[in-house]
């Protein structure tokens, strides 16, 4: 895909940031372009830039107007957008163990019923995809994944739960996600991973980066308990082109 075929628009976020919007759609190619651009901006260390937040379809570049004016920053960003090549480098694919159902995934039976699947069939479909991490947001380390099988698209709960456990694996709408810390949620809980995607005391507090991939691997409860007790446990990963 030729880079110049992608359209974008600059939108001011007052005098704090500029939003580069690539349109109202979820698309792997566009997200790849956004994560590549974010990496390029971080590498360039542009004067005055204080944060670079990639999302599904936009990149928000925060700046300090005492150091750079937005009009000037936009000129620098335009140059980068037109010159940065979409990264084709290999990315990590994490193999994330998940204990599905039971007390770890209280919504599994009801979700299966809504989707007219057996619980086993639902688990099989959920673990059959290699998901792209489109963005990290909402809570520290919370990973939004794309690529959920259309057979698993499901409306969100009418009443969100006040709090779901850390490590919750859930589906909602056309998305699936890996929870990090305990948080409110209106999504359906399928299971739980013993892996901590955020641990402030670990040398690398955040496990995932937008642009990486995740595959879920079903595990039994006894294995979950063992892995959850192991503070140093890290999941396997491979490089994916």
Partner 1 sequence: MTYFDVLSPGLLSTLQDGGRFGYEDKGVPPSGVLDELSFAIANALVGNHPGTGAIEFTLTGPSLRLCGDGYCFFSVTGDFSATLNDAPCATYQNHRMHPGDILSIQRVISGARGYLSISGGFAVPPVLGSVSTLMRAQLGGVNGHPLRKGDRLPVAPQRHSVCHGVRAERILPQMEKRAVRVVWGPQDDYFGDEARASFLTQTYTLSPQCDRMGYRLKGSPLAHVKGFNIISDAICAGSIQIPGDGQPIVAMNDRQTTGGYPKIATVIRADLARLGQMKPGDPIRFEAVSVEKAEDLWQGRQKILAQKLATLNKKVLAACP
Residue numbers at the binding site for partner 1 (CB under 8 A): 11-17, 19, 21, 24-26, 38, 50-58, 60, 62, 65-66, 69-71, 135-142, 144, 180-181, 183, 198, 200, 205-206, 210
- How far is the C-alpha of 187 from the C-alpha of 205, rounded, in Å? 25
Smallest gap, in angstroms, from Cβ of residue 99 to partner 1? 23
- 145 and 132 Cβ atoms separated by less than 8 Å: yes
Q: What are phi and psi of 152, to 5 degrees?
A: -110, 5
- Helix, strand, coil percentages in the chain from 3-state DSSP, rounded to 5: 25, 30, 40
- How far is the C-alpha of 180 from the C-alpha of 75, rounded, in Å? 37
- Comparison of 156 and 218: residue with beta carbon closer to partner 1: 156
- Comparison of 14 and 150: residue with beta carbon closer to partner 1: 14
- Comparison of 72 and 226: residue with beta carbon closer to partner 1: 72
Smallest gap, in angstroms, from Cβ of residue 226 to partner 1? 25
Q: Which two tokens stand for residue 132?
A: 């792209």
- Comparison of 100 and 208: residue with beta carbon closer to partner 1: 208
Tokens 């700046």 appear where?
63
Smallest gap, in angstroms, from Cβ of residue 161 to partner 1? 15
- Comparison of 140 and 218: residue with beta carbon closer to partner 1: 140
Q: Which two tokens stand for residue 210?
A: 């937008």
- How far is the C-alpha of 241 from the C-alpha of 3, rounded, in Å? 19
Tokens 């955020």 appear where?
198
Rounded to 5°, the CA angle 91-34-72 comes to 135
What does DSSP assign to residue 102? G
Q: Is 157 left (phi over 0), alpha (psi -120 to 50) or beta?
A: beta
Smallest gap, in angstroms, from Cβ of residue 120 to partner 1? 31
Smallest gap, in angstroms, from Cβ of residue 36 to partner 1? 14
- Comparison of 101 and 146: residue with beta carbon closer to partner 1: 146
- Comparison of 98 and 178: residue with beta carbon closer to partner 1: 178
Smallest gap, in angstroms, from Cβ of residue 23 to partner 1? 9
Q: Give the side-chain half-sphere CA count within 13 A for 52.
A: 20
Smallest gap, in angstroms, from Cβ of residue 53 to partner 1? 4
């Amino acid at each position: 895909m030729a880079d110049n075929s992608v359209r974008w628009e600059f939108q001011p976020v007052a005098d704090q940031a500029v939003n580069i919007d690539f349109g109202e759609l979820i698309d792997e190619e566009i997200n790849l372009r956004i994560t590549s651009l974010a990496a390029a901006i971080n590498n360039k260390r542009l004067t005055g830039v204080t944060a670079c937040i990639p999302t599904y379809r936009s990149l928000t570049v925060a700046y300090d107007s005492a150091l750079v004016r937005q009009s000037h920053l936009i000129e620098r960003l335009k140059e980068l957008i037109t010159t940065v090549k979409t990264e084709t480098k290999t990315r990590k694919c994490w193999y994330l163990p998940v204990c599905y159902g039971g007390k770890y995934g209280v919504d599994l039976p009801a979700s299966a019923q809504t989707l007219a699947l057996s619980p086993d069939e639902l688990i099989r479909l959920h673990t059959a995809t290699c998901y792209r991490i489109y963005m990290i947001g909402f809570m520290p380390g919370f990973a939004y994944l794309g690529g959920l099988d259309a057979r698993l698209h499901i409306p969100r709960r009418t009443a969100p739960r006040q709090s779901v456990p850390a490590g919750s694996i859930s589906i909602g709408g056309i998305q699936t996600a890996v929870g990090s810390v305990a948080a409110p949620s209106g999504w359906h809980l399928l299971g739980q991973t013993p892996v901590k995607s955020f641990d402030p005391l670990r040398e690398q507090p955040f496990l995932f980066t937008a642009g990486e991939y995740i595959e879920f691997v079903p595990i039994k409860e006894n294995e979950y308990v063992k892995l959850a007790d192991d503070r140093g446990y890290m999941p396997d990963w491979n490089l994916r082109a």
